[in-house]
Amino acid sequence: MAEHSNNAILEAMLSAIELPDSAYEKAESRYKDLGEWLHREESKCSIFEPKISPQGSFRLGTANRPFKGEEYDLDMSCNLQEGLTKDIATQEQLKNLVGDDLEQYRKARGIQSALDEKRRCWRLDYADGISFHMDIVPCIPEDSDKKAVLEKRMIESSKFSGTLAEDVSNLAVSITDNSDPNYSQLSDDWRISNPEGYAQWFESRMRLAEAVLNNRMFEAKASIEELPNYQWKTPLQMVIKLLKRHRDTMFENDDESKPISIIITTLAAKAYSGESDLVSAMENILNNMAALILPTVPRVPNPVNPVEDFADKWYSNEHKHLNLEANFHRWVLQAQADFEALRSQENVKNILEAAKRGFNLNLDSKFVSEKLGLAPSVVPAPKVIPSSPTRPWYKK
C-alpha cells in the first residue's frame, strides 16, 4: 500500500513536468517536413539520400517541459546516406551543403531568426505556437573499418552481445565540427557519433521492464516496435525525467556547473535492473549510479563508443573551476535525500517541502493526504546537502 501511494505521488509530479504527447507530435511533424524539403527536386542534398532523424531526449522519450521559460530543444541528425565520403568531401563542404538547403527552408517557412551556425550543427529557431530551436547535425555514414573497430570495442568494453554490437556499429556516422583543425581539408579523421545506436542501446535497457512493456502493448493494441519511444513510458524513462528536473531545480542559477543530461541518462540506464514500478526504479538508480563511474579515464564511457568519455570536462583544465565531478556527487546525495523525504509515510508536510525544494513543484496537500491517509503536521524539514562554496539553490 505504501509503495503504491508513493508511486502515485511521483507519477503526479511526473505529469507536471513531462512533455505532452502533442509536443512530441509537433516535433515529429517538423522533422518530417524538413526531411520532405531535403528530398524535393531542387534540393542540392536530395541526390545523397538525406535522412532526418531525431536524437537526444526526444528520441529517447525522456524530454521534459522547458524549465522556467527555456525553449524546447530538438536535436536532429541530417545523414546524407549515399554518394559522399571523406575521400571526396571536407567537413566544411558537407556542412555548407546542408546549410544552403536549410537557409532556403528557413525562408520558405517564414522563420524570422537567422540560420545560426554552431560548432557541430545548424540551428533553426521556430516561434509558431510552440517555441522550438532545432539543432541539425550534418553527417555521413562512418566507413566500414571504423565500424568494425567500434563493434569490437562494444563487445570488449561495453559487454554488448555480438548481435547488438553489430547492429549498433552499423549506425555510426561521421559528423562535422568546425573546431577541427582538418575542418576545411580532406581528412579521414572526423568526429564519430552514433545517436541512433545509443538509442538502440537505451531501448535494450528499457526492454528489461518486460511486464511494463507487455501492459503498454495491451493498452495500445500494438507491438512495442510500432510505438514511438515516448509512448513506452518505462520506469527508466520516468526516473530520468524526474532526475533531470531535480538537477535543473538544484542548479537553477548555476547552469554551467550542473551534471549534464547524457551522464545522468547513461548512468541511470546502466543502473536500471528492470524494476516495474517507479519507486523501486528510483531507489535502485540513485543508490547505484555513482558507483558506475570508473576510477580512470574514461570515467563515464559512451556505451556505443567506449573510448569517448561523457565526463571529459570533469578533468579538463578549462572546466576545473566548475567543480563538475564534486557537483555531480553532491547532486546525487541531495536527490537521495529528497527522494527519501518523498517516501515519507508519516507526514504530508515533509513530502510537500521535498517536492517544492527539490523539483519546484507545488503538490496539493489534500491529494497527498488522501494517498497516504495522513493529516498535515509540522515536522523539521529534510536535510539539505551543504556545498562549499554556498550555491544559489542552498539558503542558510
- Taking the alpha carbons at both ends of the chain, their separation in whole angstroms is 36
Task: Count the neighbouring beta carbons within 10 Å of the beta carbon of residue 373.
Answer: 10
The set of residues, in sequence order, having a beta carbon less than 8 Å from that of 392 and lying 6+ positions away, is: 252, 253, 254
Domain edges within the chain: 2-372
CA 63 to chain centre: 7
The burial of 103, by beta-carbon neighbours within 10 Å (0-12 exposed, 13-18 middle, 19 or more buried), is given as middle
H helix intervals, the chain? 2-17, 21-38, 57-60, 91-108, 144-156, 162-169, 195-206, 210-220, 235-250, 261-271, 278-288, 324-342, 348-359, 365-372
Collect the ranges in the chain with pLDDT lower than 50: 1, 376-382, 388-396
Q: Among all chains, which residue has been given the C-alpha cell 516561434? A: 127
pLDDT in tens, 318-340: 999 999 999 999 999 999 999 99
Q: Under the phi-then-psi rule, with left for phi > 0, alpha for psi from -120 to 50, and beta for the rest, what region is 155?
A: alpha
